[in-house]
Structure 1
Amino acid sequence: MASPTEFLGPILELMTWVGVVPGVPLLIIGWIIRKRRCNWSTTDGEVFTAGRYRGLQWTDNTSTSRRGLLEPDQAPELQAGHVAVLHYDICHPARWRLEPPRHDNTATVLGLVLTGVGIASAIAGFVLMML
């Protein structure tokens, strides 16, 4: 009969490789994505009407006047002349939204989980060797 040490050793070594090898590159990719991402700015936009459509007009960080049409279901409570808070991408001002943007980075999260599992498995493997 095999002892638990003989059984757990190969499993922990495999989990170390499965965690660290893809985890570290994912952390690097997530870091690159975070560095290349542009910041979003918040400003006030005035609601205007264009026929049956409504839109927002605002001035971006370069003092350029911008306009964007609202989807019909996006903000039914906004009427012409009202002021709404909008968020826009500084590098690409045509990308805007009424709700604050989420800066999710799946590569970083997955890299942290895999690297953490790999490091924990490596530590457990060293502890197992010492027993």
Structure 2
Amino acid sequence: MPGPVEVLGPILELMTWVGFIPGIPLLIAGWVLARRRCPWTVTTAEVVEAGGFKGFRWSDGDNASHLSLLTAEETKGLETGTEVALHYDVCHPGRWSLGPHRPDNTVMTIGWILTATGMVCTLGGFVLLMF
């Protein structure tokens, strides 16, 4: 019957390749995606009311005026005429948020996890050689 060292060796070898082969290309793809994203910035928006809807009137960095109308349910607690901080995408001003933008890069996260798995399994394989 093979011992644990003989069984663990092929498993670590397999997991090394399973981690590195997709992990490194995913890291590169995630880095490219992160570099291509537009920055978000913040501006002041005024709460307005138009025909039963409330919304935000604001200007972007190019002094272009924008109006975003929402339903009454989405704007509960906002008084007409008040000013709020509005975060928006510089390249696509239609993408906005009342809270700060939290960038996510799922491709890079998966790449880090797979690459780290490959690195740990490689180190484990070297440690296993000592036994």
Q: TM-score, normalised by structure 2?
A: 0.94
Distance 1:69 1:28 in 2: 39
Distance 1:96 1:120 in 2: 40
Q: Structure 2: where are the runs of 5+ without partners? A: none
Residue identity (%): 49
Structure 1 position 97, deviation (Å) = 1.6
Q: Structure 1: where are the runs of 5+ without partners? A: none
C-alpha RMSD over aligned residues? 1.1
Q: Hey, what does 2:43 align to over in structure 1?
A: 43
Q: Hey, what does 2:7 align to over in structure 1?
A: 7
Q: Hey, what does 2:59 align to over in structure 1?
A: 59
Structure 1 position 94, deviation (Å) = 1.3
Distance 1:112 1:36 in 2: 19
SS at match of 1:120: helix
Q: Hey, what does 1:124 align to over in structure 2?
A: 124
Structure 1 position 79, deviation (Å) = 1.8
Count residues with an aligned counterpart: 131
More displaced stretch, 5-14 vs 99-108 = 99-108
SS at match of 1:46: strand
Q: Hey, what does 1:77 align to over in structure 2?
A: 77
2:52–2:72: 8 Å Cα contact kept in structure 1?
no
Residue 129 of structure 1 aligns with an amino acid whose one-letter code is: L
Q: Hey, what does 2:101 align to over in structure 1?
A: 101
Distance 1:116 1:23 in 2: 8
Structure 1 position 128, deviation (Å) = 1.1
Structure 1 position 40, deviation (Å) = 0.6
| Structure 1 stretches of at least 4 aligned residues deviating more than 4 Å after TM superposition | none
Deviations 1:92-112 (A, max 9, x none): 111112122221111111111
SS at match of 1:77: coil
Residue 130 of structure 1 aligns with an amino acid whose one-letter code is: M
Q: TM-score, normalised by structure 1?
A: 0.94
2:54–2:75: 8 Å Cα contact kept in structure 1?
no
Structure 1 position 9, deviation (Å) = 0.7
Distance 2:6 2:29 in 1: 36
